[in-house]
Amino acid sequence: MKFFRLLWVLIPLIYSFEYRNEDKTYTAYIFMGLECPISQKYIPTLNEMANGQSDLSLIGVFSGAVSDQEIAAFKAQFGVEFELVTDVQYTLADTYKASVTPEVFLVDASGELQYSGAIDNWFVSLGRNRLKPNEFYLLDALAALREGRKVDLNRTLPIGCFLERNKAMSHEHH
């Protein structure tokens, strides 16, 4: 009888421990495209964020018919140091209404969306970027949340490649 009571207590603990996102407080889903040059160029920035933010889980999301081999090749070619997942049925893309790659969606531990849009202001338009960004939207949102403040700018315009559903052309999202 004591054994079953112990199981009754332990099973929910084991379940919640196993499925917690490595005890991270925040998760940033970055929608990416295998062939999107902007997605590719952001890898060093995203690696730095993934390695430098202990309370952030960064997940690169590839929607559509992307194979595990293509993901592995992308990871190797660009030196990705964060988790990459596939969203074959566009479930995550539809949930967050993602339309551009790269486009970020920052959620808190309760799963509530806190910020969406561009990672920073590095890209001005397709084919035009600053030497380096001077506004850091994702990091600013993260800092506000850590300090218990409301995110001032909770949505920005992402600039990138069209999230391909039917091999659509690249565009600036409006």
* pLDDT tens digit at each of 174 positions of the chain: 554 444 444 444 443 333 344 568 999 999 999 999 999 999 999 999 999 999 999 999 999 989 999 999 999 999 999 999 999 999 999 999 999 999 999 999 999 999 999 999 999 988 888 999 999 999 999 999 999 999 999 999 999 999 977 544 334 444
Q: What confidence score (pLDDT) does residue 69 get?
A: 95
Q: State how beta strands 159-162 and 128-129 pair.
A: unpaired
Q: What confidence score (pLDDT) does residue 54 get?
A: 92
Q: What confidence score (pLDDT) does residue 165 get?
A: 74
Q: What confidence score (pLDDT) does residue 126 get?
A: 84
Q: Could you tell me if 67 and 84 are in contact, meaning their C-beta atoms sit under 8 angstroms apart?
A: no
DSSP labels, 95-161: HHT--EESEEEEE-TT--EEEEE-SSS-EEETTEE-SS-S--HHHHHHHHHHTTPPPS--B---EEE
Helix or strand or coil: residue 85? strand
Measured CA angle at 122 (ends 52, 29), to 5 deg = 50
| CATH architecture classification, 22-172 | 3-Layer(aba) Sandwich (3.40)
Rounded to two decimals, the pTM is 0.81
Q: What confidence score (pLDDT) does residue 104 get?
A: 98
Q: What confidence score (pLDDT) does residue 13 get?
A: 41
- C-alpha R_g of the chain: 18
